[in-house]
Structure 1
Amino acid sequence: MKKIILNKGKDKAAWQLHPWVFSGAVNKVIDQPQNGDVVSVYNNEDEFIAFGIYNSTSRVAVRLLEWHPNREINEEWWRNRVRSAVNNRLHLLSEENDTVRLIFAEADFLPGLIADKYADYISVQVHAAGVEQVKTIIIDELVRLLNPKGIYERSDLKSREHEGLPDSNGLLYGTVPPEFVAIIENGIQYQVNIVEGQKSGFYCDQRDNRLLTAQYVKGKKVLDCFSYSGGFTLNALRGGASHVTAVDSSALAIDTLRQNIALNGFDAEQYAAVQSDVNKYLRELGEQQARFDLIVLDPPKYAPSRSALDKASRAYKDLNRRGLMLLESGGLLATFSCSGAMDIDTFKQVLAWAALDAGKEIQFIRQFHQPEDHPVRASFSEGEYLKGLLVRVI
């Protein structure tokens, strides 16, 4: 097997089961592995640490897979990992929920691989060259386990550039998904565009948080910002909100949201769908002295890396300041960050600064997390990317 020798003092994280070896930790590369090859990783004293996938073009030079020296990384190894990930989530599927994340990359020892089940279809994203080499095995195992109507790839990701991979979109198995696939989450029906929608088609990582937030909406006027296809909006309407205003910059998102509201039979008088830049719309609402009882802020990733955290913190602060300005005493703000670089303590500090600038006193009354089909490995805290806070203005 091709071999990687780490620099002295750069092996601690690998021994502690962290799945990433950065290029700066590599001392020697033996036998010229190609990108995507399985390699064995040793410390500078020639002690075996783990097997992993090598990539010379990536900042993450090796994605570690297996720490047991007697377990070969072969076809059955990959199939076992896929089976384990899928079996750990089958209990989440029911008549009320037919959508789930089947595979969550490093959390499931399948680095660089995402697979989401949307009713009878599966959407797949491949971020890593090593997974690209065994993609046919993974797809075959998913077919064997779940017998979907189709598996569609949405690997149009910036991260693939760092792996030396081109974009790859298209059908991997079965039939191409229709323009809109009908799914059910929390008993609510959605139309999901797998082929052209954002990410893999839907944001199932907010499943639990939509339900939790809906507990506070009865009889209230709600503003749902970055609404996409209406997850928080639909849960709020079902929860008895008096009115919901949904805002998103995407025309496709707004059109899909309208379809979803009609699909579930909600009263058209109970909501307004606004296509607009959210920050611009919040400024306009502030100028109008508009007020809401509950506001949801679920923006895209502002901090793709730690180097972007300072700039992102300022963006989060300004966004939340504008939201807080629209709330009176007793008003609630459900605010989220999907930036892995933004930890919860930093996010709380950002909210404290936003409240100070808005002239508001606030309480943190609930903390939100990603659901169990997006687990976090104890050795890989970076997998805990989604966090949120329910804030009360006092």
Structure 2
Amino acid sequence: MSSEVVLQVNSKFSSKYKGGYPLIHQEAITNSRDLKVEGTIIKLVDEKKNFIGKGYYGRQNKGYGWIISQNEHESLNQAFFKRKLTAAIQERRSFYEDKETTAFRVFNGEGDGIGGFTIDYFDGYYLINWYSKGIYTFQPLIIEALKEVVEFKAIYEKKRFDRDGKYIEDDEFVVGKRGEFPIIVKENGVRFAIYLNEGAMVGVFLDQRHVRKTIMEKYSNGKSVLNTFSYTGAFSIFAALGGATKTTSVDLANRSLNRTIEQFSINDIDFEAQDIIVEDVFKYFKYAVKKELKFDTVILDPPSFARSKKHTFSASKDYKNLLKEAIAITEDNGTIVASTNCSSFGMKKFKGFIKDAFKEMNMDYQLMEEFSLPEDFKTIKEFKEGDYLKVVFIKKIG
């Protein structure tokens, strides 16, 4: 790590950072050219040279780095990281004691005081996701701090930042005893197969825990369920266990087929009684309309941005039209579960997409319930972008 660099905050942004906003944007800094090496310790000051905060330089798609301390004299050493990790893990003590849920987030970046990395727990295995070269320069300190704070079977890591323009999947094992994959974890008693050794995608998105449980308990029994952008079929598993007459899982990725079959099988569900389709979701919508297929529950959980041979999807631009496609194949009085992890807009705008989609389809609707991030995905009010998840259950009134 390099020596400390002093950065002056543009006067327009001073109050924002003094109020606790943690992400350092290039446009907020008057001398950003002084930043040369990622991992450099930075001290933010206002136009009168008054101290604002201390952090590090690390470029990711969100910004130029993070403020991680309001103490000008604090050393960003192993003891500092140990204090942050200890506090985060203590807040999640109840999760560790829950025998029916053995996978959850134990450190959520800026929500727990240090933007740029997260740590997830999978039944004794810890997975660290690093989002910039800058935070990764602290890797030895953070690993040693984590080793002091928790007992573990093994620690794995994912470097989620570009190196020379591409994501490189290194050997991701750090310390402990290598796992034999898949490892089987539980969420509300439901089993998931997890792979910590096969790139960035491990098998389940932990932030949808409450949504999956709600689908199982309220929107599945006796229902036909379509799960689009289904990945490894997690929503479909919960729907089937909730009494769905049939689930249909659609995803473009070839590996989604075997992984969805695996998830059904480890939960003792006959996968042959379900439909698992490898296809572009937009192509499937057209097929469903042509065949006059209708579903009682339609789940929409697309990535924020996706590109296939024929389609480019951006949640901020295209979600309304995606909803219109779903409305067309949802039964009257059926349910659409609309979800997005796009952080560039909030719930108000998302509900605007819903309103416009139903209006353009000349259909009425009712908002049933909504969800954001679960408790283990801790956020802070000063950084609204961090509370990225928006899920709305919508009844199509017929």
Residues 228-273 of structure 1 show CA distances to partners (whole Å, capped at 9, x for unaligned) of 1222111111111111111112222221111111111123454211
2:42 to 39, 50, 68: 39
**Secondary structure of the structure 2 residue equivalent to 1:392:** strand
Aligned to 1:179: 181
Supply the AA of the counterpart residue of 1:349. G
Aligned to 2:283: 280
**Is structure 2 residue 82 aligned with structure 1 residue 86?**
no
Aligned to 1:306: none
Aligned to 1:223: 226
Residues 65-121 of structure 1 show CA distances to partners (whole Å, capped at 9, x for unaligned) of 111334332221111111111221221232101101111111111211011111222
Change (3 A) 1:63 1:161: farther
1:193 to 191, 195, 205: 195
Supply the AA of the counterpart residue of 1:182. I
2:17 to 14, 34, 51: 14
TM-score (norm. length: structure 1): 0.90
Aligned to 2:52: 49
User: In structure 2, what is the Cα distance between the partners aligned to 1:57 and 1:20?
Assistant: 11
Task: Answer whether contact 2:111 2:386 (CA < 8 A) is retained.
Answer: yes
**Secondary structure of the structure 1 residue equivalent to 2:30:** strand
**Secondary structure of the structure 2 residue equivalent to 1:259:** helix
**Secondary structure of the structure 1 residue equivalent to 2:82:** helix
Supply the AA of the counterpart residue of 2:386. G
Aligned to 2:120: 116
User: In structure 1, what is the Cα distance between the partners aligned to 2:346 and 2:374?
Assistant: 17
**Is structure 2 residue 347 aligned with structure 1 residue 340?**
no
Aligned to 1:354: 357
The runs of 4+ residues in structure 1 deviating greater than 4 Å are 29-33, 55-59, 164-169
**Is structure 2 residue 171 aligned with structure 1 residue 128?**
no
TM-score (norm. length: structure 2): 0.89
**Is structure 2 residue 218 aligned with structure 1 residue 203?**
no
Aligned to 1:307: none
Task: Report how many residues are paired.
Answer: 387
Residues 21-50 of structure 1 show CA distances to partners (whole Å, capped at 9, x for unaligned) of 222222247987742122221111011111
Task: Answer whether contact 1:192 1:202 (CA < 8 A) is retained.
Answer: yes
Deviation at 1:53, TM superposition (A): 0.6
Deviation at 1:317, TM superposition (A): 1.5
Change (3 A) 1:58 1:371: closer
Task: Answer whether contact 2:192 2:203 (CA < 8 A) is retained.
Answer: no
Supply the AA of the counterpart residue of 2:268. G
2:154 to 150, 154, 161: 150
User: In structure 2, what is the Cα distance between the partners aligned to 1:230 and 1:28?
Assistant: 48
**Is structure 2 residue 259 aligned with structure 1 residue 256?**
yes
Change (3 A) 1:55 1:98: closer
Aligned to 2:104: 100
**Secondary structure of the structure 2 residue equivalent to 1:9:** coil
Deviation at 1:58, TM superposition (A): 7.9
Change (3 A) 1:58 1:27: farther
Change (3 A) 1:58 1:264: closer
Supply the AA of the counterpart residue of 2:219. Y
Structure 1 residues not aligned, in runs of 5+: 304-309
Task: Answer whether contact 1:195 1:201 (CA < 8 A) is retained.
Answer: no
Supply the AA of the counterpart residue of 1:144. E
Aligned to 1:315: 318
Residues 94-152 of structure 1 show CA distances to partners (whole Å, capped at 9, x for unaligned) of 21011011111111112110111112222211113342122122122323333222222
**Secondary structure of the structure 2 residue equivalent to 1:27:** coil
User: In structure 1, what is the Cα distance between the partners aligned to 2:340 and 2:49?
Assistant: 42
The worse-fitting range, judged by mean Cα deviation, of 232-241 and 351-360 is 351-360
User: In structure 2, what is the Cα distance between the partners aligned to 1:197 and 1:41?
Assistant: 36
1:77 to 76, 80, 84: 80
User: In structure 2, what is the Cα distance between the partners aligned to 1:88 and 1:254?
Assistant: 37
Change (3 A) 1:165 1:222: closer
Change (3 A) 1:173 1:365: same
Deviation at 1:168, TM superposition (A): 5.2
**Secondary structure of the structure 2 residue equivalent to 1:356:** helix
**Secondary structure of the structure 1 residue equivalent to 2:172:** strand
Task: Answer whether contact 2:127 2:196 (CA < 8 A) is retained.
Answer: yes
Supply the AA of the counterpart residue of 1:138. I
Residues 144-191 of structure 1 show CA distances to partners (whole Å, capped at 9, x for unaligned) of 333222222221435x779x9976552111233333121111101111
**Secondary structure of the structure 2 residue equivalent to 1:35:** coil
Change (3 A) 1:171 1:287: same
**Secondary structure of the structure 2 residue equivalent to 1:184:** strand
Q: CA RMSD in A?
A: 2.6
Aligned to 2:28: 25
Residues 205-239 of structure 1 show CA distances to partners (whole Å, capped at 9, x for unaligned) of 00111001222211111111112122211111111
Task: Answer whether contact 1:152 1:169 (CA < 8 A) is retained.
Answer: no
Aligned to 1:325: 328
Change (3 A) 1:265 1:42: same
Supply the AA of the counterpart residue of 2:338. T
Aligned to 2:389: 386
Counting aligned pairs with the same residue, the percent is: 24
Supply the AA of the counterpart residue of 1:15. K
**Secondary structure of the structure 1 residue equivalent to 2:83:** helix
User: In structure 2, what is the Cα distance between the partners aligned to 1:146 and 1:132?
Assistant: 20
User: In structure 1, what is the Cα distance between the partners aligned to 2:174 and 2:243?
Assistant: 42
Change (3 A) 1:361 1:112: same
**Secondary structure of the structure 1 residue equivalent to 2:39:** coil
Task: Answer whether contact 2:117 2:135 (CA < 8 A) is retained.
Answer: yes
